[in-house]
Amino acid sequence: MRLSQYFLPTLKENPSEAQIVSHRLMLRAGMIRQSSAGIYSWLPMGLRVLRKIEQIVREEQDRAGCQEVLMPTIQPAELWQRSGRYDDYGKEMLRIKDRHDRDMLYGPTNEEQITDIVKMECQSYKDMPKMLYHIQWKFRDEVRPRFGIMRGREFLMKDSYSFDMDYESSKRAYNKMFVAYLRTFDRLGIKAIPMRADTGPIGGDLSHEFLVLAETGESGVFVHKDVLEFDIPGEDIDYNGDLQPIVDKWTSLYAATDEKHEESAEAELGDKLLAARGIEVGHIFHFGTKYSKPMGATVTDKDGNEIDLQMGSYGIGVSRLIGAIIEASHDDGGIIWPESVAPFSVGLINLKSGDADCDKTCAKLYSDLNAAGVETLLDDTNERAGAKFNNMDLIGLPWQVVIGPRGLKNGVAEVKNRKSGEKEEIAIDQLVAKFSA
Amino acid sequence: MRLSQYFLPTLKENPSEAQIVSHRLMLRAGMIRQSSAGIYSWLPMGLRVLRKIEQIVREEQDRAGCQEVLMPTIQPAELWQRSGRYDDYGKEMLRIKDRHDRDMLYGPTNEEQITDIVKMECQSYKDMPKMLYHIQWKFRDEVRPRFGIMRGREFLMKDSYSFDMDYESSKRAYNKMFVAYLRTFDRLGIKAIPMRADTGPIGGDLSHEFLVLAETGESGVFVHKDVLEFDIPGEDIDYNGDLQPIVDKWTSLYAATDEKHEESAEAELGDKLLAARGIEVGHIFHFGTKYSKPMGATVTDKDGNEIDLQMGSYGIGVSRLIGAIIEASHDDGGIIWPESVAPFSVGLINLKSGDADCDKTCAKLYSDLNAAGVETLLDDTNERAGAKFNNMDLIGLPWQVVIGPRGLKNGVAEVKNRKSGEKEEIAIDQLVAKFSA
């Protein structure tokens, strides 16, 4: 993309309405704009990051054997009356009456809806087990939306649901999601630590939250330092094999949020204790028959008995993850994107737009890099050099390649790594090979 | 995907609630299930088709120079009060009060919201022109939703918006979308014909509808037969070049819906007149300053004058297209997917699951085809042969490959083309080459 044509309205000043760094930087980097309180429009660069995160989440769900569906945003109230949650949910649920005065709602989550689908389509043990997910916009009418997309009202969530005939099988589904989450967050370039969690309004008897460490996190966290060094399961992990040892290992050492922590246990850890702050990016629950029983989601086993299905649900805050990644990865200059979610890999800066040699070299590099599959943003604007550097730091692409008249004489470009800040001169004819390797 | 593990609840009988063939076949083929009137959940196979259509629409928007954004589903009423449409829109608009009693709505379209974004971010002629689009769920509270996703309430739409400083430039944007639409529908495997249209409640002075011919279409259409033979612009079309000759050619011959048709003009056509039925799948409008003026979306020109922006909007019914494609492409046995949107390219039928040779050959073919990028659905169930054939015809994959004990003895599979019905025997070791070519 050429910056001169790209809809990327960056801001030099910090917007006064933003209290936390991710909100400030997303506004300044032209990623989002507020539509109304807690509701945002995604501009082209923000949407690129959102789609990359969504795709990594999807790939890891698919790898774990979860199948993608898409449920609508608007649900009938009747579904929630059957589960008993319609009255419990309170004002966070956006309640709607349609033109025929029927009670509807904008889904804050989908346990009822997916349970109804499985109830209608699965009658026999032959249809089990099932793991289904969708990535859909949700709405929670927060009383005081804040922190940009970190605590918005309309947000994108991946929610998975598992259906099994007994606890052991359901536990295997839970373990699959546990492992898929470790892999997902690792691929997103963040360190997310599973912690035992309260099961809250969704209910259930087994639950873990995944939290990203960040100074600005909403929760205090207390973690055995060795957890930070645990290995992430590889791409070749066999999801049909026994995953219990992986889950056991990751839950063997102390890790708790401030809601669940125990000072006595922490005292024993000594200098192995890390007290930090964290941001919740995922949450997994096993809750047995909490929804299947009231909603009548049963299957018939081999002996003709009706069995209430064992269920779990598994959420990842897809839009919220962008905020969490920025909170965990930025500096005074702006965002520092992990490579896997960066909107572009390379920011190509033409230091002297209008200079024939600079223009020609940049045009060729831009074309060659994109042809080699290296997503490149070319700054071909007439801004002065300092403004271009600052802007490129702000939007946080992993690599900056600077083409100027002085370097061109020697056939070299200056290449800067956004994260380390290291700069080196590289021969222009070596650049495509460097980035497409 | 292995059918034994795939969530694909096909139905042998026609569901009584479905009045038209696309609705019947989408239910029978396990693509969708109703959540409430006019609101559907997409099951895995339906979602695969939806995503393929969405991706082709996206690629052609990008090619035409349109940039993707994503606006939220829930909008503040205040935006629509500014344009004057809040009171006009009537009961089709789903109106909502949030917990603070603020008036909100579920967007039926996005002219106001995108105009507000451009107004806030673009002040100068240097920011022009702009072409932005998004692919987002919309809601129209139809008084009588029917025909499945063809006239649903929650539906997926691609809507683009152009902003220019004068009519000539705006006309160029209009022509870009006209050409992009020709390419999009062609890639989707359907023949969509542009017809002069009323501008309806969106307003404006230049407008075309794109209609797909199908016996079950909602509108009568009257078309000069030669229009059906016009060339589609190629992938190498230069969107910055002069597109007017293409638009002129495509609008040179008679083509009108029953709302706009003129019997006298048709009488002149003689046997060149095709009287048929059509389904609207796209609509493009130029409407000048209808929204920019009341909403104050202006930019400053080189001489310091404030200019009201010239706008156009351009819609494609992404979810509705699935219905239109099925209406235009099916037979008594079921759906006939065009290759570009088929959920899988090949349906591999194991005629005798449990037979060691059949199982082994199918497993290897399944693995080899997928590795070669040929999306394959393997029917590894224990159904009898007839049921497997009927099911494969119903879901409409372009190719069926049948592996049975008799063919295996000779090292061959039977390959059936779903559309033509032609069958041929092909050596098993030639199959991957045939489909990955």
Q: How far is A254 from chain B (nearest CA, A)?
A: 38
Parallel, antiparallel or unpaired: strands A67-68 and A130-139: parallel
Distance separating alpha carbons of residues B7 and B46, to the nearest angstrom: 11
With both helix axes pointing from N to C terminus, report the angle between A318-328 and A21-28 in degrees, rounded to the nearest 10.
100
Query: How far apart are alpha carbons B108 and B86 in whole angstroms?
Result: 11
| 8 Å CB contact between B106 and A74 | yes
pLDDT digits (tens, 9 = 90+) for A189-218: 999 999 987 666 555 568 999 999 998 888
CB contact under 8 A, B69 and A139: no
Evaluate whether the domain defined by A3-335 bears CATH number 3.30.930.10: yes
Asked if B70 lies within 8 A of A41 by C-beta distance, the reply is yes
* Chain A, nearest residue to B90 by Cα: A99
Rounded Cα–Cα distance for residues B169 and A57 (Å) = 41
Closest CA to B297 of B100, B130, B70, B55: B130
CB nearest B39 (choices: A36, A39, A74): A74
CB atoms within 10 A of CB A372: 14
> Would the CB atoms of B42 and A70 count as touching at under 8 Å?
yes
Residue of B nearest to A40 (CA): B72
Check B40 against A154: CB less than 8 A apart.
Answer: no
Selecting from A68, A102, A153 the residue whose C-beta is nearest the C-beta of B44 gives: A68
Distances (CA, A) of B273 to A409, B55, B182, B220, B228: 67, 35, 21, 13, 11
Buried/exposed A93-107: b ≥16 CB within 10 Å, e otherwise: bbbbebeeeeebbbb
Q: Which residues, including other chains, have CB under 8 Å from residue B365's CB and lie 6 or more apart?
A: B348, B376, B401, B403, B428, B431, B432
Count interface pairs A-B at CB distance under 8 A. 124
Nearest-CA distance from B125 to chain A in Å? 13
A35 contact residues in B (CB cutoff 8 A): 71-72, 75-76, 113
* B274 band by pLDDT with thresholds 50, 70 and 90: very high
Residue B94 and residue A94: Cβ atoms within 8 Å?
no
CB distance A150 to A24 below 8 Å: no
* B380 phi/psi in degrees, rounded to 5: -105, 20
- All residues of chain B having their beta carbon less than 8 Å from the beta carbon of residue A9 are 121-122
Name residues whose C-beta falls within 8 Å of residue A33's C-beta, 6 or more positions apart in sequence. Answer: A27, A40, A41, A43, B117, B120, B121
Confidence of residue B17 (pLDDT cuts 50, 70, 90): confident
pLDDT at A199: 61
pLDDT at position B204 is: 56
Closest residue on chain A to B79 (Cα): A35
- A320-329 b/e (C-beta count within 10 Å ≥ 16 → b): bbbbbbbbbb
> Strand locations in A289-394, DSSP E?
298-300, 306-308, 310-317, 330-331, 334-335, 346-350, 376-379
Enter the tokens of residue B269.
């056509």
Per-residue pLDDT of B337-379, as tens digits, reads: 999 999 999 999 999 999 999 999 999 999 999 999 999 999 9
Contact B72/A39, CB-based, under 8 Å? yes
B382 touches chain A (CB under 8 A): no
Q: How confident is the model at residue B265 (pLDDT cuts 50, 70, 90)?
A: confident
Domain boundaries, chain B: 3-335, 344-436
pLDDT over threshold 80, residue B248: yes
Nearest alpha-carbon partner for A179 in A222, A134, A241 = A241
Consecutive H or E run containing B113: helix B111-121
User: How high does pLDDT run on average in chain A?
Assistant: 95
- Identify the band that residue B283 occupies on the pLDDT scale cut at 50, 70 and 90: very high
User: Per-residue confidence at A17, pLDDT binned at 50, 70, 90?
Assistant: confident
β partners of residue A36: A39
Among residues 8-27 of chain A, which lie with CB inside 8 Å of chain B?
9
Chain A positions in Cβ-Cβ contact with residue B76 (cut-off 8 Å): 35-36
Q: What is the pLDDT of residue B215?
A: 86
Closest Cα in chain A, distance from residue B176 (Å): 16
Q: CA triplet A225, A231, A232: central angle to 5 degrees?
A: 120
Q: How far is B382 from chain A (nearest CA, A)?
A: 12
- E-assigned strand segments in A179-235: 192-196, 206-213, 219-224
Helix (H), strand (E) at residue B363: helix B356-371
Per-residue tokens: A64: 């774990």
Closest alpha carbon within chain A to B10: A121
Angle (CA) B223-B50-A309 rounded to 5° is 145
Interface list for B 236-265 with A (CB within 8 A): none
How near does any CA of chain B get to the CA of A293, in Å? 20
**B56-115 residues touching A, CB cutoff 8 A:** 65, 67-76, 91-92, 94, 96, 98-99, 102, 104, 106, 113
Interface of A with B in 298-327 (CB under 8 A): none
- The pLDDT tens digits for B131-170 are 999 999 999 999 999 899 999 999 999 999 999 999 999 9
Q: How many Å lie between the alpha carbon of B276 and the closest alpha carbon of chain A?
A: 34
Q: With an 8 Å Cβ cutoff, is A406 touching chain B? A: no
Residue A306 has a CB neighbour count (10 Å cut-off) of: 10
State which amino acid sits at residue A86: Y
What's the mean pLDDT when you consider all of chain B? 95
Tell me which of 3.30.565.10, 3.30.70.270, 3.40.50.800, 2.30.110.10 is the CATH number of domain A344-436: 3.40.50.800
List all residues of chain B from 134 to 193 with a beta carbon under 8 Å from chain A.
137, 139, 141, 143, 153-154
Using a CB-CB distance cutoff of 8 angstroms, which residues of chain B are in contact with residue A99?
91-92, 141, 143
CB-CB neighbors (< 8 A) of A75 in chain B: 35-36
Helix (H, G, I), strand (E, B) or coil at B207: strand
Which of A278, A265, A271 has its CA nearest to residue A214?
A278
